[in-house]
Structure formats: C-alpha cells, structure tokens
A and B are shown apart, each in its own frame.
Chain A
Amino acid sequence: MTACGAALLGGFVTLYARGASALPAQALRPPGALDEETFLGACVRCGLCVRDCPYDTLALARLGEPVATGTPYFVARQVPCEMCEDIPCVKACPTGALDPELTDIDDARMGVAVLIDQQTCLNFLGLRCDVCYRVCPLIDEAISLELDHNKRTGMHTRFLPTVDADACTGCGKCEAACVLEVAAIKVLPTALAKGQLGSHYRLGWEEKEKAGESLIKGIIDLPDRMPNGGGVR
C-alpha cells in the first residue's frame, strides 16, 4: 500500500517534471552548460554560478517562470553574457553541470545568433547601423558584413550582418544591443536555430577533396552559361 502510494507520488512528480522542463527560446544557459537533458540531471540548483557572475547576467528560475525551477539561465535581450576570459561561472559550479573543460570562452556555445527579421533590420533597409556587428566580441568572425547591391536605390551597397554559426558563442551582445524596439537579431538555442543534413548526405566537393580526385571518373565538364548575358564559362 505504502509502496504503491509512494510510487504513484513519484510518478506524478516525474510527469510534472517532464512537463515543466522545456526550455523557452528566450532562455539561454550559462557558458559550458551540458546539453539540456544532462544538465537537468547534473545541476543541483545551488546558484553558485549566479553569485560569481560579475555582470549579474544569470538568475535562478523561480517557480512560475517558464524555465525548470531553480536552474540558472539568462535572457540575452535583458543582460547578455559578457564572455569573461576567466569564466567565473564555470569555475564556481561544484557539479560540472557547467563543464570545466570549457577553458576558452570563445568555445562556449550558449546558442546561435540569427538575423531573424530582414524587413526591420536597418542594414537590410540600406542604412548603416552596424551595431550588432560592432558589439560582437568576435567581430568579423561570428558576425561579418556581407556586401550586397541595394536594389531599391539602384546605386548603393547594403552591408548585411551575417552570422557564422560555427564561430558564434551565443553570448547575446548583438541581441541586447540591437537598436530596434524588438531586436531583429536574436540568439536562439542551437537546437532551434540550426538545420541538420540527412545523416546519409555527402557533400561532393568535400568528398572530392578528401579523395584527392573526383569520385566518379571520366565525367565530362560541360560549359556553364552565366546569367545576364555573362557569356559561357
């Protein structure tokens, strides 16, 4: 009887915990956080990371907030991660829920910045705002400006902020700094931001490089017709 009751109670708690463990897109984990599933088992909700963050970036989720109760998170638009070189939050963590293997903050992957709204981004409108690009701690690596013809004026260049997901740490400084009322660039959890190739996909040019030659021999390279009367190559 008692055992059944206890098992039932345990079951309810588990169901509730599973339901209340989804991380909303605005909530980012501190640097070095293990993947979300492991993190929810490893973190003891002590808040030592929160205490040692010199910028008050982190907070422990309170009951009623849409983040697993007691776990540390931050919202980039409010206070981004300043990417401390000595990573005090990771050092403070007693359990390794924030992985001590992370010693270079540039290797942190808290999320990925995505220029999510090209209709309001000032640079996409043809202006020179550049703020997200300038505040990025990895300027020209994580965000660069790609030049593009301004079709509206027909005579200017657009400088399009472009994120390289391989270099972006997800610190959120770009999102915090975006001058719009609602940021056009947002840091999303990696799982949400990134696509994934089918596991059987092979990129021909990479395979060719690996093999040192084309995998299919004797292919005839036909000439390519270039657009806008660009001739034949």
Chain B
Amino acid sequence: MTAASLTHADVRTRWRWKWLLLRRTSQLAILALFLLGPWAGIWIVKGNLSSSLTLGVLPLTDPFLLLQVLASGHLPEATALVGVGIIVAFYLLVGGRVFCGWVCPVNLVTDGAAWLRDRLGLRARARPSRSTRYWLLAALLAASALTGMAVWEWVNPVSMLHRGLIFGFGFAWLVLLAVFLFDLLVTSRGWCSHVCPMGATYSLLGAASLLRVRADRRADCDDCMECFRVCPEPQVIQPALKGMEQGIGPVITGINCTNCGRCIDVCDQDVFRFGTRFHNTMEAS
C-alpha cells in the first residue's frame, strides 16, 4: 500500500493522544508533588498554587494573587515578589496559559464536563462573551482596591480545589460542582474560556510568550474541522489556519491558546506543531 492509496479511515488509526497524555501526566505529577507532603510526609513542595516553597529554596507565587494583594494596598515581602517574577518569566517562555492546560487542577474538572457534554450532545444555553474574563479581572482588581481585601479568594475555584485537596475541603467542593455544572449545562467551556480571571491573567502573559503552536503545514488542511472541535479556544485557530489569503502567518498568536497541543494530536494531516512565535511569515508555511 503506497502513501497515496491511504484512505481517510486508515489515517485515523494513527495515535492521537500524545500531548493529551503528556498534559494529564503533568497535571497529576504537579498535584502529586504538592500532596506528597501532607499525604506521605515527603516535603518537596510546601504551600499551594497561590504561593509555594520548593525544596526550601524556590518560592513561587501566582500573578493574579499578587495583583489582588497589590490592589488591596499591601506591598508584599520580597519572597512573594521573587516568586511572581519566576512564574512570569517561566510562562513568558512556555506560553501564558500553559498554566491552564498543564498545571491547573480545575482543567481536569472542566475537561471532564466538556467530554461529558460532547457525549450527551448537549447544546449551549447561553453564550457569554469570551472577553467576560478580562472585564471580571478588571472589576475584581477595582473591588480589591475599594475594599482592601483580596475579594476573588472568597470564591476562586482554582485556589479552592487545590487548597481543598491539600488542606481540606469543607464545602469548597460545592464551588467545583457549580463550575462543572456550568460547563456541562450552561456554556460549553464556560469557566476556563469565558469567566476565569486567573486564566485571563495568564492569557495576558501569552501576548509575548515564546512557545507557540504553529499551523506550518496549513496548505495540507482538508477541512475536517477536528481541531476546531477539540480546541477550548477555537477562535485562535482560525487566523493561523485559514489566514493565508489575508497574509496572516501560520503562528497561533491568539493569547488564549493554552498550548494544550490537542490540535496537534487530532490533525490527520499533521498541520500543527510546537514552535516559537518567530518566523511568522507566509514563507514559513
């Protein structure tokens, strides 16, 4: 059988799970590192995603948490500032929303809802704008400034899930259930792709981040639409994949791309690959 005689069905048997599996491994491994202390007494990492200390030397602090603290009018100690610096530098390198796709535990919940939604064939009931998250981010920082409190931390499902697993839930699981049901019944990819202000903060880092998904072989695209179906932020694919005529380069520059690599996995024509944001020219594709 020659390459030319391959039918679509034959090609579909290729392995489509590489990046998804790597991503799940990363999410679970990071969670395991945090849980090793409280569950097994092996203290490699202390704290939680809001702020942590690894091996007693490496401080890490979440940028959105720090923004809230700053907005509330408190200038934190150097440890938290260094921690944020390291995080910002790291995500500028690997892609802002890599946090969302590869680290955040809520992604497991919302991916689960998306999968079930797909299975049940549910239709969207509401379509809030994808820019809601940025307005919410601004509103919350204003509220923090007005009240002097880090207001989002009273409801933040990301902190609640991670802290809950490590320090105990209380009724925090209700908040997670609400997020799951919202994604399942109200809006497809509702939480992570429309509302979450923490993800929005990481998105902003994505505006300059180095590692990007590229549609370098977009000329081979056979319009199967699989990438649009699996992508949590399909609007970012459109210009890179279909912008050839308008003179748009092949790099997915949309800041909301989570670098999850699912499009790379599912594309039978190998259109996508990981690369840098440079050489975003027509010749590159």
Contacts and interface: CB of A to CB of B under 8 A. Distances in A.
A52 B52 CA distance: 12
B131 A94 contact: no
B272 to A, nearest CB: 30
Interface residues of B, number: 63
B74 interface: yes
B149 A2 contact: no
A102 interface: no
A228 interface: no
9 contacts: A2-B132, A9-B195, A38-B72, A44-B153, A62-B172, A63-B170, A94-B59, A94-B77, A95-B77
A221 interface: no
Contacts of B142: 10
A46 B52 contact: yes
A10 to B, nearest CB: 3
Given A44-B80, A50-B167, A63 B61 contact: no
Interface in A26-85: 34, 37-38, 40-48, 50-52, 59-65, 68-70
A44 B163 contact: no
B140 A10 contact: yes
Contact of B69 (A11, A42, A52, A64): A42
A217 to B, nearest CB: 49
Contacts of B47: 46-48, 51
A48 B139 contact: no
A2 B135 contact: yes
Nearest to B66: A44
A1 to B, nearest CB: 8
Contact of B170 (A5, A41, A62): A62
A122 B222 CA distance: 87
B169 A63 contact: yes
Contacts of B171: 62-64
A3 interface: yes
B169 A37 contact: no
B230 interface: no
Contacts, number: 175
A60 B167 contact: yes
A65 B80 CA distance: 27
B147 A95 contact: no
Residues of A in contact with B, size category: 35 or more
A64 B195 CA distance: 24
Interface string B73-101: 11111011001000000000000000000
Contact of B169 (A21, A45, A62): A62
A26 to B, nearest CB: 17
Given A16-B154, A47-B48, A69-B154, A41 B144 contact: yes
A18 interface: yes
B69 A44 contact: yes
B75 to A, nearest CB: 8
A89 to B, nearest CB: 12
Nearest to B83: A94
Interface in A110-147: none
B143 A10 contact: yes
Contacts of B170: 61-65, 69
Contacts of A11: 139, 143
A192 interface: no
Given A10-B143, A13-B152, A94-B76, A48 B51 contact: yes
